[in-house]
Structure 1
Amino acid sequence: VARRALGARVPPALVLGWHKAFTRRPRSLGAVGRLALPLLLIVVALSAWTTIDRFHSSPERMGLPTALSVRADASLGDRETRALLERDPRVTAVYPGVEVAALVPGQTATIALRGLGTRAEPYPFTLAEGRPARGPDEAVAGQGLLDLLHVRVGDWVRMTVGDQPQILHIVGRSIEPENAGRVISTSLDTLRANDPDLRPALYQLRLDSGADPAAVAERLTAAGRGHLDVHAVANPADGLSPLRAVVLGLIVVLALIGLIELLTAIGGTVREGERDLLALKAIGLTPRQITAVTVTATAGTALAAVLLAMALGLPLARWLIDAQGRSSGIGAGIARLPSP
């Protein structure tokens, strides 16, 4: 390769620098590996940082399409409540809903059964697999529920709400940050088919882009005159914000380790080049070209380490985020987000 490069009139400094960096395989692989390790960990740390940031910048992609949750007392009917909520100019959609505890065969713990939105105005579930629930008896489920029941998208599940059975067809896998993902969601119309007298117990509100949830909640509370209980939808990333300082500190430490390793590689290249200095001068290389040989050798080693770290770090980061997210029911969709 070196002979062909010289024959193609590639500058001798580049050829000699590449030759010095990669011809001694054990030493070259060791240098690349030592430099790639801190870079790989930096890639993983940056992926964790990006995942935490996505909860705040794009909550709708993390299973939080609505910003406010409202509960009305018994004095307000469904029509009056929806009219009151839709009157606010920053509210773009109101989704009535109900959440009940359900039992499934063979399990002692309860799961959460939600009825959100209607077939005319379906709730915008964030899906990681499958399709939205549009037809009768169709539902989407979190990863935690699929693992609990050992089912997958396309299966039918049977559960009991009180003394009434409910059979639902799982057509999609949703990102569910609550209840460890042990949630199955359908439309309010589907639940009303079994219980026509079912009344919405809560309302999920989607706001305009850039709207302040606190300001909207204050206006709705005042407009409700004590009949509305308005709360912001809890964001799981609120408790993870302190981890940003930890991730930042880890990135700084790893960057220092990588810098020290890079300086060590430069020093080793310079020491090895001292033995070849007279030979390089004898063949006509100038001091600037001799310096370029060292720079090229170091840059080639660093570039190989960066490519190796990216090739291994991004799949590793996706796998770690997906494994951690599956334990909390949200990882199936997070792992599909773009990496930094």
Structure 2
Amino acid sequence: RLSGVARGALGLRMPPALVLGWHKAFPRRLRSLSTIARLALPLLLIVVALSALTTINRFHDEPRELGIAAALTARADEGLTDSGARDLLTGNRQVTAVHPGIEVAALVPGQTGTIALRGLGTHQNPYPFTVAEGRPARGPDEAVAGQGLLDALDVGVGDWVRMTVAGRPQILHIVGRNIEPENGGRVISTSLDTLRENDPKLRPTLYQLQLHPGADPAAVGAELSETSRGHLDVHAVTNPADGLSPLRAVVIGLIAVFALIGLIELLTAIGGTVREGERDLLALKAIGLSPRQITTVAVTATGCTALAAVLTGTALGLPLAHWLIDAQGRSSGIGAGIARAPSPALLVLFGAAAVLGAAALAALPASRTARRRLADTLSAVA
């Protein structure tokens, strides 16, 4: 029996083949939901894999998303003063910003190991941390911390942390959580000015350099080393995403496997639709539908089923991927907030390919069924 929506569509003079195909895609609620669920599961897994691949590619192409704002790290020897090092670094036209810094080991109550305490940038020129929660550290005694440190100390954004640095107490107010890929996230970062308030004798031991977009870090590093006559040790900042290249190949392989599983489920669904079409063939011919229109009914039914599966898989896959990637980031100490969804254009292309591919696969068997002789149809039904 046609639904009210289908009868209304026919009343609006919509093509009967399309209306019957849409109605055929959802004849029985339980069976239709089962078919859609079987098709949606591999599509959901493909969306999760695409999200993981997008996250890896984003970290590789945009290191700042992983908390790496600087392209080069420079260290000056004892023969070069702080002002001299800054003059050499800022004199290069490819360098856009120089952030002096220092990294020391700190002890915190209740911990047997040490944590990394960094002083980067100044109050006037703060270091551009990638903050995933809270806000950047701007004022005195303010700091941002990695997820690993927050978990180790069982503290959160807004808490105060007391530590000991070279026998001196240091109290910092955690105002944000930053994406921290190093040291398992057990890092707390503040400005160099804040550390100097506790120990005025501190001088920078490293300089984080930001470069113009498109600049070659290796070429700039070699030029700076030559200009400083060996007083500066300049090297590129290591991007942890560079070590994920083998994982990228694994993700692509998983996408191929999930696509194959989806294809098998699709062929099974098409077979069921074609068998149902054989039983309905006499009725469709009796109401005056041509073989082409009968083929359109089966193709539309398959396309509607695939479209419902794509929408379901995408709607469930995106939040699942976000949760899984952030959970992995949180457990590794990097922290949540690193997940990136595929672009809308890629999702639309993925959905269109799935629906059009399903319709194309259903066209040939549906066309053969629609052109069967009435005698063959009667014997098959009998």
The alignment's TM-score, normalised by the length of structure 1, stands at: 0.97
Match of 2:205 in 1: 201
For 2:231, which of 227, 230, 254 is the aligned residue? Answer: 227
Runs of 4+ in 1 over 6 A off after TM superposition: none
Alignment partner, residue 243 of structure 1: 247
1:180 and 1:327 in contact (8 A); partners too: no
Report how many residues are paired: 339
CA distance in 2, matches of 1:209, 1:235: 16
CA contact (8 A) 1:142 1:182 kept: yes
Map 1:74-113 to 2 at 5 A: 74-113=78-117
Q: Distance in 2 between matches of 1:267 and 1:217?
A: 63
- Distance in 1 between the 2:166 and 2:95 partners? 34
Q: Which of 175, 181, 189 matches 1:177?
A: 181
Letter in structure 1 aligned against 2:135: R
Distance, in Å, in 2 between the alignment partners of 1:331 and 1:136 is 25
Q: Secondary structure at the match of 1:252?
A: helix
Q: Which amino acid aligns with 1:125?
A: F
SS of alignment partner, residue 336 of structure 2: helix
Structure 2: distance between partners of 1:107 and 1:326? 20
Q: Is the aligned partner of 1:192 residue 2:193? A: no
1:270 aligns with 2:262: no
- Where does the alignment leave 5 or more consecutive residues of structure 2 unmatched? 344-382
Task: Return the offset for 1:25.
Answer: 2.2
Give 1:253 shift.
Answer: 1.7
Q: What is the deviation of 1:338? A: 4.3
Secondary structure of the corresponding residue to residue 101 of structure 1: strand
Instruction: State the AA in 1 paired with 2:125.
Output: E
Which structure has the bigger radius of gyration? Answer: 2
Runs of at least 5 residues in structure 1 that lack an aligned partner in the other structure: none
Contact 2:180 / 2:335 at 8 angstroms: preserved in 1?
A: no
Q: What is the CA distance between 1:331 and its match in structure 2?
A: 3.6
Find 1:59's aligned residue among 63, 76, 88: 63
Match of 1:212 in 2: 216
Equivalent pair of 1:127/1:333 in contact (CA under 8 Å): no
Q: Which residue of 2 aligns with 1:47?
A: 51
Query: One-letter code of the match for 2:79?
Result: S
TM-score by length of 2: 0.87
**Partner Cα separation in structure 1 for residue 161 and residue 124 of structure 2:** 24
1:295 corresponds to 2:330: no
Distance in 2 (CA, whole Å) between partners of 1:60 and 1:239 is 16
In 2, the alpha carbon distance for the partners of 1:22 and 1:306 equals: 15
C-alpha RMSD of matched pairs (Å): 1.2
Q: Once the two structures are superposed, what CA deviation does each residue of 1:94-135 show, in whole Å capped at 9, x if it has no partner? A: 100000111111111211100000011110111111111111
Give the Å deviation of 1:6. Answer: 2.0
Give the Cα separation in 2 of the matches to 1:308 and 1:331. Answer: 29
What does 1:105-124 correspond to in 2, within 5 Å?
105-124=109-128
Match of 1:325 in 2: 329
Check whether the contact 1:321–1:331 (CA below 8 A) recurs between aligned residues. no
- Partners of 1:118 and 1:198 lie apart in 2 by 13
Deviations along 1:184-220, whole A, 9 cap, x unmatched? 1000000000100001011000000011111111111
- Once the two structures are aligned, what percentage of the paired residues are identical? 77
Paired position in structure 1 for 2:142:
138
2:153 & 2:269 partners in 1: Cα distance? Answer: 54
Q: Which amino acid aligns with 1:232?
A: A
Between the aligned partners of 1:168 and 1:245, the Cα distance in structure 2 is 43
Moved more, 268-277 or 16-25: 16-25
AA partner of residue 18 (structure 1): W
Match of 2:29 among 5, 10, 25: 25
Q: Deviations over 1:23-45 (max 9, x none)?
A: 22232122111111111111111
Q: Distance in 2 between matches of 1:266 and 1:330?
A: 45
Distance (Å, rounded) in 2 between the aligned partners of 1:105 and 1:251: 47
Residue of structure 1 equivalent to 2:152? 148
* Amino acid aligned to 1:156: W
Q: Distance in 2 between matches of 1:80 and 1:329?
A: 37
Partner letter of residue 284 of structure 2? L
